[in-house]
Amino acid sequence: MDEAGIEEAVLVGQSLGTYVSQHAALKYPHRFKANVSIGGLPIDKPMSRLTLYGFKILMSISRLFPENLLFKRTAGEKATTKEAQEFFLDSLKQMGKEQFLFMLAGQLDACTIKVQGPPAQPLFIIHGEHEMPKSLVKANKEWHRSVPGSRYLEIPGAGHNANMDKPKVFNRKLLAFLEEVWEAERELECAQA
């Protein structure tokens, strides 16, 4: 952001990117106006033992699968539309199996880092109707309840890659949220003037 001359931004993270966006918002709260989480988890809440155990099993099983089969299965589980599945499959192929496993390990590490409190910026929590694992849906609902003023959206017919499965719905809802954030900021500036 500094190199691009950007003073403030809205963070939009998807999956593992939600951990990155939350960490950035906590570390540099004055630089970010809002935070959008798509298919993510709150970093200030411990992951359940069952979910951690599931991640470890997934890592072990993923090492055994041939790359093509692993990637086709993953793309099919994370997206519901053919276009989103094909895009995700192509992305995985470009990444390669070793980098994919490294990313999974990073996600497991991100889930175990202890931080203080959620980011203070306005928060929009989004996931697909067919989000996997289902424990993420429950965690997202609890996250929404625990953050006053947060927004919550379950996108019908979408999977983990909800923004790709249903881009028109996602974009429309994201723009409405950003309008609310900007309007609240304008009102605050007027009140302070």
Task: Evaluate whether 140 touches 125 at the Cβ level (below 8 Å).
Answer: yes
Q: Could you give the CA distance from residue 75 to residue 69 in angstroms, rounded to a whole number?
A: 10
| pLDDT for the residue numbered 82 | 96
Angle 159-93-51 (CA atoms, 0-180°, nearest 5)?
45
Which burial class, exposed, middle or buried, applies to 64 when counting CB atoms under 10 A from its CB (0-12, 13-18, 19+)?
Answer: exposed
Task: Evaluate whether 178 touches 10 at the Cβ level (below 8 Å).
Answer: yes
Which option is the CATH number for 9-192: 3.40.50.2000, 3.90.1200.10, 3.40.605.10, 3.40.50.1820? 3.40.50.1820
Q: Mean pLDDT by 10-residue block, N- to C-terminus, for the chain (193 residues)?
A: 94 92 91 94 79 80 91 93 95 94 82 72 95 87 93 96 96 96 84 77
Which parts of the chain fold into alpha helices (H)? 16-27, 49-64, 67-78, 82-95, 97-112, 134-146, 162-165, 167-192
Q: Map out the domains of the chain as residue ranges.
A: 9-192
